[in-house]
Amino acid sequence: MIKTNLSILALIISAQVTANDEPQDLERILVTGSRIAESIDEIPSSVTIIGQKELAAQLKVTTDLQSILAMYVPGIASSSGTSSNFAQTLRGRAALVMIDGVPQSTPLRNGSLGMRSLDPHVIERIEVIQGATSIYGNGAAGGIINYITKKPATNSKFSLNTTASTQFSAVKLDDSAGLKVTTTASGEIDDFSYIVSLGIENNGVLRDAEGDALGTQYGLSEAKSRNFFTKLSYDFDADKSLQMTYNYFESQQDSAWVDVIGDINKGEKTYAIKDAVSTPFNAAPQGPRGNHNLQIKYTDAEIFSNTAFNLDVYKQSIENVFFYSTVLANPDLNLAGGQSLIKSEKQGLRSVFNTLADWDNVEATFIYGVDILNDTTSQPMVDGRLWVPEMDMVNVAGFLQSKWVIQDDFIVKAGLRYENMDIEVNDYNTLKLCRSADQCSVPKAVKGGTIEFTATTFNVGFRYNANQAFTPYVSYSQGANIPDLGALLRSATVQDIALIQTEAAIIDNYEVGFVSEFEQFRFELSAYKSFSDLGSRSVQDPKTGIYITQRAPQKIWGYEGVLNYTFNDQWDLAATYGYVEGKHSNTGNYLGAREVSAPKGTLALNWQPTTQARMSVHYIHVSDRDRFEKNDKGVYTGDEGPVNGYGIVNLSGSYDFDQWSVFAGVENLLNKDYFPARSQALTFRAFNVKGIGTTVNLGVNYRF
């Protein structure tokens, strides 16, 4: 007999983290993995949730979301002082970054800038699904990173929370002091609830362990960030509600510092010096000029018998400006260099139905709906030239996911998604670019057209929860991923886009793992393999000159472990480890650092001696990875540099009294002088920058 079970669903959905300051434990609830709220214990795959407790500890040290993700997510490469998430992948493949399910990544022209897209102080938690997934469609070949924003406080009509902090280099104070202030108001009045937050951050100059300023390309020195966030919600009755969320984020670096270029093959770092005379006179500030996210969501807990309904419409737009480069010169136009920017506008609609049913010892959940997305992306130059023409994509997808709980302990999940994508490109001319007066590309007139993609992807998983001491799971999932189309179009050497091979790749992901839980101990271990018949990189055919998607199949494999141990009421420990490796299957050659990062482990030790005092020590260790040989000139090229291991220690603490809290954090406590893993492996000069030296963050929080 089918019976209504919506009260349980409503209870799960209502279990929200509010905007007050006390960290709340919602680690058992997940919304990203299947588009509805569900228990993490019913998911047959690896999941990482960075909750309020973890975020609060990390934000005492740094506001850099990429560093926070690297600390808690196995496999994400270590990062330091950069706005670019280039080569920060999930399991060797690109991740889809979202805010409340709204995509921030720009897969049509992947600039690897999506991770840093909002102020972390407005984040309730971060949900990370590792491995290819068809739940959200294109761009999620490696998984999903979803920033879940805060909900309004429901315990008062008005509450206020203000945090102010300053960050500075302990190695060399000059020009390094910065300031960050975030104020949040929140409350509930009858059926209406609200939260409004304003954040302002002005960075000083970031310095390495020797006191030198970090390089400016993809840099954060002297960046000025602004964030405005609001979420308004109205409950029509116990079942129906309407919610509007808006977030605006900008972060631009406008600096008179210029780079002294190094060479990672010689161990020479790229660093910056203050030299206003050498600063390009027409250089625009780099970074997002403005990232707008608007989302309106309607929820009905029982739109018809046993069925809940969610409908949300959204709009996202961004202009992300890159650094000034002499490689983008054109002497014919009297241009010694240039800057490009990625312009992207997305608007979409998502409808999700959730039907529940019970038959004796079987509980079934069916999640189904339609996604519609219009994504318009281009890459013009700041000076008005056009590098990548406008790509106008319409994506319509239907999906069905099901979950079966058999006799409470055996869980089966299965589903499919059908994608239909049309991308229109008008006729365009490739851009003439000159590395020198005598070395220029030849512009080409290219006929546009419509590129069509269709794909059906599947997923199935099993989990057995009978014994907490050993809960095994196994899963198979697919993801459909189009190539970086913009990179192909801007480098075209043919006269018709129909001659540029742009076929979508299907990624097959296999995973097996288990969770062991005891009274004070939790351990999770997972192993995975993924295969892509088309690979994920674009190369130029030397015979035809046509840029094509890498035809050689790729395989990526690895394992991840997560451990949590609570010693007593005062002490607890968390640790992660991630190992990933990959090869081109037909040649046996290893994949470079664009896809595969060096092995990484992290350790977090937390101490709470009293209810008012907290202290945390975080350690991140990167191991060696040396898979490639030098070229004929005796140097490493591309993304094939060797990585030498290193370890970094961070420290943070806080003390609460009355309505006040004071906190302090130290990044790179021991002032380790090192090149981050990406700086070692990526030989491109924009990345040859050392990690941040000892940096102190001091702050105060007031709430009422």
pLDDT, average across residues 218-243: 96
pLDDT, average across residues 182-202: 97
% of the chain exceeding 90 in pLDDT: 75
In a domain, 55, yes or no: yes
**Are the CB atoms for 14 and 31 separated by under 8 Å?**
no
What is the DSSP track for 350-407? EEEEEEEEEETTEEEEEEEEEEEEEEEEEEEBTTS-EEEEEEEEEEEEEEEEEEEEET
For residue 137, report the phi and psi dihedrals to the nearest 5 degrees: 90, -150
pLDDT in tens, 641-693: 999 999 999 999 999 999 999 999 999 999 999 999 999 999 987 789 999 99
**Are the CB atoms for 462 and 412 separated by under 8 Å?**
yes
Average pLDDT over all residues of the chain: 90
Model confidence at 6: pLDDT above 60: no
Q: Total structural domains in the chain?
A: 1
pLDDT band for position 175 (cuts 50, 70, 90): very high
Dihedral angle sign, alpha carbons of residues 281, 284, 285, 287: negative
Helix (H), strand (E) at residue 9: helix 6-14
Distance of alpha carbon 229 from alpha carbon 100, whole angstroms: 13
Nearest to 196 by CA among 56, 24, 55, 19: 19
Range of the domain at 688: 6-703
Provide the CATH number for the domain around residue 433. Answer: 2.40.170.20
Residue 521's pLDDT is what?
95
In a domain, 697, yes or no: yes
Distance of alpha carbon 26 from alpha carbon 16, whole angstroms: 8
Neighbour tally for 266: CB within 10 Å: 9
209-213, 398-402, 436-440, 508-512: least confidently modelled range: 436-440
**Are the CB atoms for 234 and 191 separated by under 8 Å?**
yes
**Are the CB atoms for 140 and 32 separated by under 8 Å?**
no
In a domain, 1, yes or no: no
% of the chain exceeding 70 in pLDDT: 93
Place of tokens 């984020």: 249
pLDDT band for position 233 (cuts 50, 70, 90): very high
Model confidence at 547: pLDDT above 50: no
pLDDT, average across residues 291-313: 96
In a domain, 224, yes or no: yes
Q: Which two structure tokens, joined as six digits, stand for 250?
A: 């900008």
Model confidence at 113: pLDDT above 60: yes
pLDDT, average across residues 552-560: 92
Model confidence at 550: pLDDT above 60: no
Model confidence at 536: pLDDT above 70: no
Model confidence at 5: pLDDT above 60: no
Model confidence at 7: pLDDT above 50: no
Distance of alpha carbon 341 from alpha carbon 321, whole angstroms: 4
In a domain, 627, yes or no: yes
- Pairing of β 95-99 and β 143-149: parallel
**Are the CB atoms for 622 and 80 separated by under 8 Å?**
no
pLDDT in tens, 574-589: 999 999 999 998 889 9
pLDDT in tens, 472-500: 999 999 988 888 899 889 988 789 998 88
Model confidence at 3: pLDDT above 90: no
Residue 195's pLDDT is what?
98
pLDDT, average across residues 350-359: 95
Residue 11's pLDDT is what?
33
Model confidence at 23: pLDDT above 70: no
Looking from the CA of 218 toward its CB, the CA atoms found within 13 Å total 24
pLDDT in tens, 405-444: 999 999 999 999 999 999 999 999 999 988 777 788 889 9
pLDDT in tens, 75-102: 898 888 899 999 899 999 989 999 999 9
Q: Please, what's the largest Cα pairwise distance for the chain?
A: 79
Residue 509's pLDDT is what?
94
Model confidence at 346: pLDDT above 60: yes
Nearest to 88 by CA among 489, 550, 600: 600
pLDDT in tens, 370-379: 999 999 999 9
